[in-house]
Chains A and B, each alone.
Chain A
């Protein structure tokens, strides 16, 4: 089954404790991206990747890191999480200019 798998679905952490949200897709998509979704602000792109070892900043990259060592995986790293990073996060993948397939989402709370 074609899918984007994100883990974990829910995460509560404390300020400053490094965390990683994993994302994996099985559709051989070149393009992967991370979004955060907040009430009234919609989906905002954090980082995206056009292919292996190619990543670029989206609209709200501050406080986040990503890597693309393999085509299927695109983890999101928060080196020192802060409460303003509390949000619903989505990983998505697609062919260039194609339909975006989304993961199930990760609801992150930073206290």
Chain B
């Protein structure tokens, strides 16, 4: 059972476009993390959100944690080719804080 559903699975856009990636669950998470992974490399943390309704910004990336702490979104403004990669959400389930639950990821390609 995949506790974290990410959508879309694949996304191919032109440079300059905006996009949103979603991470949804029916379970409550004590925190959610977003990672970016480049081909052949390990994921690297972008941000952690902890409080329901929290919004964090990282340059052109905006992360939001749902009020009920069951979902999160990542919005990229004016995407650039350097944003290309696999975006993964992961979270610590409120019922089991020992294990990081992973989504399957959104593969983003930004074309020049």
Instruction: With A42-B103, A42-B105, A43-B88 as known contacts, state yes or no: A97 contacts B97, CB within 8 Å.
Output: yes
Interface centre among B43, B90, B98, B105 (most CB of A within 10 A): B43
**Cβ–Cβ < 8 Å partners of A50 in chain B:** 98
Overall SS of chain A's interface: strand
Contact A102 B97 (CB under 8 A): no
Give the B interface residue count (CB, 8 A). 22
Overall SS of chain B's interface: strand
A residues contacting B by CB (< 8 A) are 4, 33, 40-43, 45, 48, 50, 58, 88, 90, 92, 94, 96-97, 99-100, 102-105, 107
Nearest Cβ on chain A to B88's Cβ, whole angstroms: 7
Proximity bits, B77-100, A CB within 8 Å = 1, else 0? 000000000001010100001111
**Cβ–Cβ < 8 Å partners of B88 in chain A:** 42-43
**Cβ–Cβ < 8 Å partners of B30 in chain A:** 97
Contact A102 B99 (CB under 8 A): no
Nearest Cβ on chain B to A48's Cβ, whole angstroms: 7
B72 contacts chain A at the CB level, 8 A cutoff: no
Nearest chain B residue, comparing its CB with the CB of A4: B42
Nearest Cβ on chain B to A63's Cβ, whole angstroms: 20
Instruction: With A42-B105, A107-B40 as known contacts, state yes or no: A96 contacts B98, CB within 8 Å.
Output: yes
Nearest Cβ on chain B to A59's Cβ, whole angstroms: 9
